[in-house]
Amino acid sequence: MLSNINRSVLLSCLIAALEVEAARLPSRPKSIDVSKSAPQNAGIPLDSFMSFSFELSSWPDFAGNLSNPNVFTSNLMSNLGKLQGSMPIARVGGNTQDIAIFDESQKTGLVGIIRPNVSADYPTIITIGPSFFESYQTMPKGTRFTHGFNMGANSSAARAATWKSAAYACKAIGNNLLYWEYGNEPDLFHASGYRPLEYNEADYVSEWLNGTNAISETVKTACPKLAGTKYMAPSFAGVAANEYFTLDPVKAWRAGIDKADNIEIVAGHNYMGVSTNLGITLQGTLMNHTNVIVKASGQLKVRDDIRASANAPPPNTPYILGEHNSLARQGRPGLSNSFGAALWGVDWNAYIASQNISRSHMHQGTNYRYQSWQPIETDRATKGTKPPYYGNVAVAAFMHRDSPKTELKIAHLPSSSEFSTQYAAYTNNNLARLLLVDLHTYNTTDNNYTTPFPRPVEKYELKLPGCSGCSARVQRLMANGSDAISGITFDGYSYNYELDEGKPVRLNNVTYGEKINGLAKSMSQSFLGIQIDAVYHTSIVFGGIEYYFGQGVQTCRAGQTHHGRPMEIIKLGQTALPMEVILEYLESLKKIYTPESYDLFAHNCNNFSNDFAMFLVGKGIPDHITSLPQTVLNTPFGQMLKPQIDAAMRPIVQAPTPQAGQVQPSGGSTTNGTTAAASSNRNMTEIEMSTGKVNNITALTDLDRLLGLAKDRCAIIFFTSSTCAPCKLVYQPYDELAAEAGAKCVFIKIDFSHAEGSINSRYPNVRATPTFITYLKGEKRDEWSGADPRQLRSNVEMLLNTAFPPHPHLDKSTPLLMRQSQRPIRFTKVPPLDKLVAKMGDSGNDPAVSAIVSYIQVREKSGAIEAPLTELPKFAEFLRKSTTVLPTELLFTALDLLRISLTDARVAGFFAEEHKGATGTPATVHHLLDHVDKLGDSAPYPLRLTTLHLACNLFSSPLFIPHLLSPPVSSTLISILTTALLDEKHPALKASALNLAMNITSSNHQIRMKKYTANTSPSLPSESELPDAEQVELLASLLENISTEEQWSDNKKMGVISVGWLVYGADMNGELRDLWRVMDAAGTMGNVQATAAEDRLLVKEVKSLLEV
């Protein structure tokens, strides 16, 4: 089982012997001789070795602008800067460099048009304006830049625009400018259609000299201090001329490209292969040191030939890779975006550094498959950190310099082989770090990669003269396989976007901080052979499905996990919760129980089972199971073996669900452990897969499944037969209508010639073809016969308009209103808990209070994953009795504990579906809110304020929202809110009430919009808008508040936004519209005097909604 972990090992010091866990170990360890000082042939990389090249069209996505800098990119760049001792250099250029035309009058930074027939990955018609260069001013301090100018455009107007852009570029970049670049891959200018076939090196050099002279002259005038800035060149794609690469870099040098002595660094480009070519594999192309050497040899030959040519640059001129990555044409999914590509990046970069290729600019682009991170959310890729970035991190750590004066040398050790490579880093000529890279894929094979066997992992013996007892610190680059795209860490750190926007977050479930010395070898036998029979694996079973935590939250048929049959089955109770609610709660648990968070001793499957059971039946799993890992750790032997046991067990507990046992939970209702229908996740997939096209079916079960999917939208069945000639007249129109309808309607076609007899029995009255039957919200609507395309289109359009009625607001342009964040506003500040509890008096000694305080303290210090849920039913009982036990002036202390606890989705989920109110109103929450509401103005100020903050935090769980927008909780909330809005003595009450109004109206808006759009995710049970009367009361209070607030403020803005969300899409014949017309809401909004231009536009948008 241990073979399932694919990892490379980075050592920060020296070790005498290291045994790495493996499925089968070689009989003898790989012996590696390491010298204490750098060998003569060691490479000497430049500072900022680990750098990047950014596609020019993607640069605004990666960097942002002054108004909205990309903090994620900034964090990732800073990480590498700290690791290697100098910030990565950003080269901005690439293919789109030679497409972008500068337009001085253009207000927008970049306007690009993608033509899929040319490239679906980047725009091929581009104009940039002056504000494009703002992006250079958003990067962390110390970032230097290379800016690429357009050489591809071959007209005098385009060239003049390029020269003009140089002034804007130099002013924006300023002293952070490192080099200019003129032209990207000019040896492909013919292939790209920029130059004719006869375009040769002499033509290129002449054009390059003229262009760089014009750029330099512009810079001299606009930015005198930067007048001496030199260039990186020639930036060719190939290493020699052929029918595709029509220019030769060496011949360009001989032709005098450096005649003006303005080239400071020689740059080439490299890719390991072309993503669209046949024969490209992870093991054969990327994770293959032989191929690395072959590809690097081409670059080394160019470098050496240039240095030996006529007009050669000075001997100390560095040669770098100004653009490179795994596979050309933006990479291939499954290869370029895998952990294997990260390992390739480590091996490739370490090797070229050892061969005196002095800097590495790895190319990046929005949506590119080989990117190290996706800078923004798009319809093609999710914003986040990608596997190659972790390779960048390992390289940066290996290349670390303590200061710019530190001399760094990299040596490629002769012990390296095709799938196992070793490197040494020397600082000031002393051995500092060793890098061991294992390039075996997740499953390598003996027989030409066709017969799988468990992946072998090497056993190393590192020999260092005079250091047999030296110790070493180990840093591991780890994932669960070479094909992994998630769950990757370096030295125990995750750099994932969702954790802290790319900043390093140390996880507790991975190996880090290891020290290995001479005892490693003697301990390995115990490490590899250890078995811990008493550490339980638990899961929760209901409805025939088993839910457990390993590689994230997993499911399978009960009893069919890879752990085998259970040792013991313990009945926990029954649940009456709807399945949709359970699945929504599971989604919240998935954010806590991630694959990366698993720790055998601290947060394992038992913690998950305990939390899930607490939600389902109101009690956790037996204490002797949850406490057992700590019992083991309380022994000296357990403490000593903790890292080894955890590393040995993780591949077992985090193995994937067996294929035969895979199953999705049901999306229907559940009672007493039984389930029905299809899963929430599967619903999403099936809806998306079953709409936008025609579903040809023959089985009644498939028909029922599709009609079930359409119960919240509409469906149409087309009955035909193979002998029906008229039917063919509507085949194409039917297909077109399905595509146009998208997710709004499920289109079904049934051919009676092939359909089951049970379908004929279901529809006995369908005697002619073609016949069409439509369904609306699960109910039959219309039926007609005949092959009339116009009638078909008319009836389908009528069906769609009924299912998703048009609304005049949908035609309004309201970008600013819709851009406002609809995330719930929460109050998460934790007060001094000891003082809070002390105020409770004797009630503070209640065990339920002590338990919840302990939970909050652990959660705040170490995160939710480290804080197992306490006995929430006992805490709920304490809260309910607190209204009679605690004095009114001190009741806020109990509510404040609940407020803080609710920021954890697990706690919020429990109180949303508390078991005394599982099928109705959340018992404890409603009891507390109702108690405070009945106190009215007599309620003490701290209690009223805390109640408002508590109410806001309720919206942090999607499970609460159906209850919060439905009676009786909704009427209580509106009453508390409107009372606070009228309070003129306490400004904080009014501000908090407006925060609550934002949460209520945004949630109401999101539910309402499902009427007008085809939502691909299922709704929760009883999900509905606020009752009309409460919407009217809320709107009246908001409008009154807006009219009485004299000055523009954050409060007034929140009121305007809340009104906008509340009225958008409202029933045009309903009470809410009657109210805003009677109160002249449009006039009230017209009197609002916002200060900022954007706020004035926001007010104007909301006013336009009220004028309808």
> Residue 937: left if φ>0, alpha if ψ -120 to 50, beta else—which one?
alpha
Q: Could you tell me which residue, 587 or 169, shows the higher pLDDT?
A: 169
Helices assigned H by DSSP within 515-657: 520-529, 579-592, 605-617, 623-626, 628-633, 636-653
For 410, phi and psi rounded to 5 degrees?
A: -120, 130
From-to residues of CATH 3.90.1720.30 in the chain: 540-661
pLDDT tens, 421-430? Answer: 999 999 999 8
Beta strands in 1-131 (DSSP E): 6-11, 18-19, 30-33, 50-55, 90-93, 100-102, 110-113, 125-128
Assess whether pLDDT exceeds 50 at residue 791: yes
Q: Could you tell me which residue, 364 or 688, shows the higher pLDDT?
A: 364
CB 321 within 8 A of CB 295: no
Q: Could you tell me which residue, 526 or 93, shows the higher pLDDT?
A: 93
Residues identified as active-site: 201, 323
CATH of domain 53-399: 3.20.20.80
pLDDT tens, 301-360? Answer: 999 999 999 899 998 899 999 999 999 999 999 899 999 999 999 999 999 999 999 999
Domain 818-1026 in this protein, CATH class = mainly alpha
Based on C-alpha coordinates, what's the Rg of the chain?
33
Tokens of 957: 């769980």
pLDDT tens, 174-213? Answer: 999 999 999 999 999 999 999 999 999 999 999 999 999 9
**Mean pLDDT of the 685-714 span:** 87
CB 880 within 8 A of CB 927: yes
Assess whether pLDDT exceeds 70 at residue 266: yes
Assess whether pLDDT exceeds 70 at residue 90: yes
* pLDDT for residue 723: 87
Cβ within 8 Å of residue 953, ≥6 positions away: 824, 826, 827, 828, 899, 902, 903, 908
Percent of the chain clearing pLDDT 70 (strictly above): 85
pTM of the model: 0.51
* pLDDT for residue 868: 78
- pLDDT band (50, 70, 90) for residue 715: very high
pLDDT tens, 914-960? Answer: 744 434 456 899 999 999 999 988 899 999 999 999 999 999 888 88
pLDDT tens, 736-769? Answer: 999 888 888 999 999 998 888 889 889 999 989 9
DSSP codes joined into one string, 423-435: EEEEETTEEEEEE
Assess whether pLDDT exceeds 60 at residue 812: yes
* pLDDT for residue 640: 60
Sign of CA dihedral 736, 739, 742, 748: positive
End-to-end CA distance of the chain: 66
Q: Could you tell me which residue, 32 or 422, shows the higher pLDDT?
A: 422
- pLDDT band (50, 70, 90) for residue 442: low
How many Å apart are CA 1026 and CA 27, to the nearest integer?
A: 72
Residue 1007, classed as helix, strand or coil, is helix
- pLDDT band (50, 70, 90) for residue 408: very high
With CA atoms as reference, report the closest residue to 476 among 456, 461, 490, 457.
Answer: 490
CB 582 within 8 A of CB 918: no
Assess whether pLDDT exceeds 70 at residue 1089: yes
Q: Tell me: cis bond preceding 234? Omega within 30 of 0 counts.
A: yes
From-to residues of CATH 3.40.30.10 in the chain: 691-805
Assess whether pLDDT exceeds 80 at residue 619: no
Q: What is the mean pLDDT of the chain?
A: 85
* pLDDT for residue 679: 32
Which residue is associated with the tokens 């359970």?
A: 582
For 377, other C-beta atoms within 10 Å of its C-beta total 10
From-to residues of CATH 3.20.20.80 in the chain: 53-399
pLDDT tens, 1041-1071? Answer: 999 888 899 999 999 999 999 999 898 888 9
Pairing of strands 745-751, 694-697: parallel
How many Å apart are CA 257 and CA 251, to the nearest integer?
A: 9
* pLDDT for residue 599: 76
From-to residues of CATH 1.25.10 in the chain: 818-1026
With CA atoms as reference, report the closest residue to 993 among 936, 1055, 1062, 933.
Answer: 1055
**Mean pLDDT of the 719-726 span:** 90
Minimum mean pLDDT range among 40-44, 178-182, 681-685, 975-979? 681-685
In this structure, CATH architecture of domain 540-661: Alpha-Beta Complex (3.90)
DSSP codes joined into one string, 672-738: TTB--S--HHHHHHHHHHHSSSEEEE--HHHHHHHHHHGGGSEEEEEEE-TT-TGGGGGHHHHHHHH
Residue 363, classed as helix, strand or coil, is strand
Q: Is 691-805 assigned to CATH 3.40.30.10? A: yes
How many Å apart are CA 177 and CA 171, to the nearest integer?
A: 10
With CA atoms as reference, report the closest residue to 473 among 437, 517, 438.
Answer: 517
Residue 545: its H or E element: strand 545-550
pLDDT tens, 108-152? Answer: 999 999 998 888 899 999 999 999 999 999 999 999 999 999 999
Minimum mean pLDDT range among 8-17, 73-82, 726-735, 1070-1079? 8-17
929-945 as b/e, with b when 16 or more CB fall inside 10 Å? bbbbbebeeebbeebbb
How many Å apart are CA 360 and CA 803, to the nearest integer?
A: 56
* pLDDT for residue 357: 98
* pLDDT for residue 862: 81
Pairing of strands 6-11, 430-438: antiparallel
CB 630 within 8 A of CB 602: no
Minimum mean pLDDT range among 19-33, 731-745, 794-808? 19-33
With CA atoms as reference, report the closest residue to 590 among 649, 647, 547, 652.
Answer: 547
* pLDDT for residue 662: 53
* pLDDT for residue 675: 26
* pLDDT for residue 403: 86
The identity of residue 253, as a single letter, is W
**Mean pLDDT of the 406-420 span:** 92
pLDDT tens, 503-527? Answer: 999 887 566 666 555 433 333 233 3
